[in-house]
Amino acid sequence: MKVLITGGAGFIGSNFVHYWRKNHPQDEIVVLDKLTYAGNLENLVQVKDQIQFIKGDICDEATVEQAMANVDTVVHFAAESHVDRSILEPDAFIKTNVLGTHVLLKAVLKHKVKRFHHVSTDEVFGSIALGSKEKWTETSPYNPRSPYSASKAASDHLVRAYFHTYGLPATISNCANNIGPYMFPEKLIPLAITNLLEGKKVPIYKPGNQVREWLYVEDHCSGIEAVLQKGRAGETYFIGPNNPELTNLEVIQKVLVLMKAGDNMIEYVKDRPGHDQKYALDHSKITQELGWRPKFGLDEALRLTVEWYRRNEDWWRRVKSGEYQKYYQQQYG
């Protein structure tokens, strides 16, 4: 089987490339990635001779045409993915996440690709009130509230439209917050770990009581694998952890303990505009229908993530130089 992985040089995409190489060594892998600030060929260095890498933009029809040749399956990760950047500069989010997905869908249809898997997010469903026990299901209404989540919602709608209108064999997964190796240190957990390793404080958006669900990235990869192998075309599956509900502050306190740092290393900073309070997924459909369940609990996921950043200081120090400095200044002052 020939698998095209878009965004395969980013955080989750590169973890998926490694996962697929290990578990499906007979498959041919093509990675299409624009190498934006979030894309990094160092993430693929161990497999560089075993995959085909195409540097290119999913918005560019000619490049996508070339990448799609003889492909059986597309796993679509490529996106602008950071909410705070979408608030500062939304244009790239609309272009890549909406138009780029549309360019891919047209090519998938033309090349009669057997499966298009679209990687999406829980954020498309909006925000749950703190204290509420509500959990979203795959049929919950969409209510995106940031330019990022609105662009992902639009892409989900396009994928479903192509399934219903043209019979394009598509599946969608909406996943919770991931953590693990190769995560760009603009997101809360790797930002916290790398700041602490640099002796800097962890910025928590006031008041720190927002709730996220944290999934180890390898579990996300195995969830997508289950959908590719056993999921039905036209269906959507949630992928999420089985962890107790924790606020951002409580999760950061776990990181502080792992890194032997005190609460004095927390710095409360101004809140994100339109900050979604809480996400919570009911992922019983993928468990019941496909037999998937997460393998990693939160404590193990955090421990493995902290260990990875400790061992890979060269990686994150390089990532935190250059363009990152400009963004950090703009975001945190």
The residue ranges that bind ligand NAD (CB under 6 A) are 6-7, 9-13, 33-36, 38-39, 57-59, 77-81, 96, 100, 119, 121, 152, 175, 177-178, 184
Angstrom distance (rounded) from CA 3 to CA 17: 10
Alpha carbon 149 to its chain's center: 12
> Strands 236-239 and 170-175: what pairing?
parallel
Q: Say if residues 97 and 170 touch (Cβ distance below 8 Å).
A: no
Which residue in 83, 113, 119, 224 binds ligand DAU (CB under 6 A)?
83
Q: Which of 19, 33, 148, 186 is catalytic?
A: 148
Q: If contact means CB under 5 to 8 A according to the sort of partner, which of ligand NAD, ligand DAU, none does residue 136 touch?
A: none
The contact mask relative to ligand DAU for 267-306 (x = CB under 6 A, - = no) is -----x------x---------------------------
Nearest to 237 by CA among 122, 116, 99, 71: 122
**Which helix (H) or strand (E) segment is 237 a member of?**
strand 236-239
Give whole-number Cα distances, 245 to 101, 132, 172, 249, 272, in Å. Answer: 33, 11, 25, 12, 21
Q: Closest separation between CB of residue 100 and ligand DAU, Å? A: 15
Of 90-149, binders to ligand DAU (CB under 6 A) are 121-123
- Cβ–Cβ < 8 Å for 8, 31: yes
CB-based contacts of 217, cutoff 8 Å, min separation 6: 11, 12, 15, 178, 179, 180, 181, 183
Question: How open is the CA angle 221-315-196, to the nearest 5 degrees?
Answer: 95
Residues within window 219-258 making contact with ligand DAU, judged by CB under 6 A: 248
Residue 58: CA count within 13 A, CB half-sphere = 33
CB of 68 to ligand NAD, least distance (A): 13
Out of 21, 60, 72, 205, point to the residue binding ligand DAU (CB under 6 A).
205
| Separation of alpha carbons 244 and 254, rounded Å | 13
Q: Which does 83 bind (CB under 5 to 8 A by kind): ligand NAD, ligand DAU, none?
A: ligand DAU
Q: Which residue in the list 33, 57, 123, 138 is annotated as catalytic? A: 123
Least gap, CB of 114 to ligand DAU (angstroms): 27
Query: Catalytic annotation on 271?
Result: no
State which of residues 56, 126, 203, 240 lies at the interface with ligand DAU (CB under 6 A): 203
Q: Which is nearer to ligand DAU, 153 or 204 (CB)?
A: 204
Q: Which two tokens stand for residue 189?
A: 């957990």
User: Residues 21, 95, 135, 187: which binds ligand DAU (CB under 6 A)?
Assistant: 187
Least distance CB 270 / ligand DAU (angstroms): 10
| 12 touches, from ligand DAU, ligand NAD, none (C-beta below 5 to 8 Å by class) | ligand NAD
Return the ∠ at Cα 62 (arms to 56 and 63), rounded to 5°: 20
Is 148 in the active site? yes
Q: Give residue 168's identity as a one-letter amino acid code.
A: L
**Residue 264 beta carbon to ligand NAD: minimum distance, rounded to whole angstroms:** 28
The nearest distance, CB 102 to ligand NAD, in angstroms, is 12
User: Is 123 marked active-site?
Assistant: yes
Structure tokens at 17: 């490339």
Question: Which of ligand NAD, ligand DAU, none is residue 33 near (CB under 5 to 8 Å by kind)?
Answer: ligand NAD
Distance CA 97, CA 120 (A): 10
- Number of residues assigned to the chain: 333
Least gap, CB of 306 to ligand NAD (angstroms)? 17
Cα distances (angstroms) measured from residue 329 to each of 23, 111, 198, 322, 333: 41, 45, 16, 12, 5
Q: Which residues belong to the active site?
A: 122-123, 148
> Under the rule (CB under 6 A), what is the footprint of ligand DAU?
81-84, 121-123, 176-177, 187-188, 191, 203-205, 210, 212, 248, 272, 279
